[in-house]
Amino acid sequence: MSTDIVTATMRESLAEPEREATLRRLQDWRQRVHTLYDDVQAKLGPAYHYDRTGKNRSLESRVQRAGLTEDDVPPVDVLRIEFDGRLAAQFLPRMLWMIGGNGRLDLVVSSRDGAQRFYTLIDQSLPFSNRSVWRLTRPSDSMASHPFCSERFHELLE
Amino acid sequence: MNDPLSLDDFYGAYRRTSSRIYRILEDGYDFAVDTLIIDILARNALIIDAAFFLLVFGQIEVRLNAMAEAGQPQNQREALRGQAFHRRLTMALPGNANADLRRDIADWSRIRNDAARGRELTSGYDIEAVFTQARQLDALLASSLANQGKELT
């Protein structure tokens, strides 16, 4: 396995996807995303309401090329966070396979005045390294990114 | 404006171009129709990412070409430009010691070719990570050139 994420993801993208390996990657993706959600919920606490009934199933080209059907793909939760009866934030799984990252979530934060802020969360860890390295970017504002810190996530919602 | 373009020039242009797309997304975002607007704008952002990926690799290719041509007579330099990328890569980074680096750059080249031909092998790019890696690669190539005792022309 390459030591940098760009080279590792390029190499993976050039290799023909195999069914079992692709499934393992999808299961790992689901696990990493759900661990992040669990962490966010634990840090935000009971003042917020959480809804994870929405599901996302990857339809990326590698999934199709590996011969997986939609039913084969492990569903990944969409996390909706509500406060005082209004939707405050939503985490949406966007893609697993990308050059330079080990999966991306989109995060939309809605402020009280109705304005929306759009962020991306990209895991910079190498595939199957068992330790996610989430990086938060607000691409409309600056491409500068920061490590995602669940302890300080509430600051984005204020 | 005849100065050669650098990776920093591309990075600045990327930030300005990409941020406009995401500003449109934020301005028009509606949770009720989130999938539609995000999908359309994400597609636009992906095209911008792919375009800058091509430009970034172009910079690496310029560096490799200069390395391959360094020390060659003028008539052979011109002939080299018509050679396949793999051939120029081997000339720029010869020997077993450069085998891993050649392989990494050959991977970039294959991804670049697929993007240039409109094939969709990947769902997206983390362009910031791509720029970071490209800068490291560029520095490595400059160092390799210095170790060969050659100068760019």
B19: left (phi over 0), alpha (psi -120 to 50) or beta: alpha
Tell me the chain B residues in contact with residue A99 when contact means C-beta distances shorter than 8 Å: 53, 111, 122, 124-126, 130
Provide Rg for chain B, Cα atoms: 19
Minimal C-alpha gap between A65 and chain B (Å): 10
A6 and B42 within 8 Å at the Cβ level: the answer is no
pLDDT-derived band at A47, boundaries 50, 70, 90: very high
pTM of the model: 0.89
pLDDT for position B70: 80
Cα–Cα distance for residue pair A9/A100, rounded to 1 Å: 6
Under the banding of pLDDT at 50, 70 and 90, the label for residue B116 is confident
Least confident window among A31-40, A42-51, A103-112, B140-149? B140-149
Counting Cα atoms < 13 Å in the Cβ hemisphere of A81 gives 26
8 Å CB contact between B125 and B42: no
Q: Give residues 61 to 80 of A whose Cβ lies within 8 Å of B.
A: 61
- From residue A153, alpha-carbon distances to A47, A89, A141, A157, B30 in Å are 14, 11, 18, 7, 22
Give the C-alpha distances (Å, rounded to integers) separating B136 from A99, A108, A132, B117, B147.
Answer: 16, 33, 23, 26, 16
Q: What is the mean pLDDT of residues A129-150?
A: 89
More confident position, B150 or A156 = A156
Closest partner CB to B31 (pick from A87, A100, A124): A87
Q: How large is the ipTM?
A: 0.85
Contact: A61, B121; criterion CB under 8 Å: yes
Mean local confidence (pLDDT), A40-50:
96
pLDDT band at A130; cut points 50, 70, 90: confident
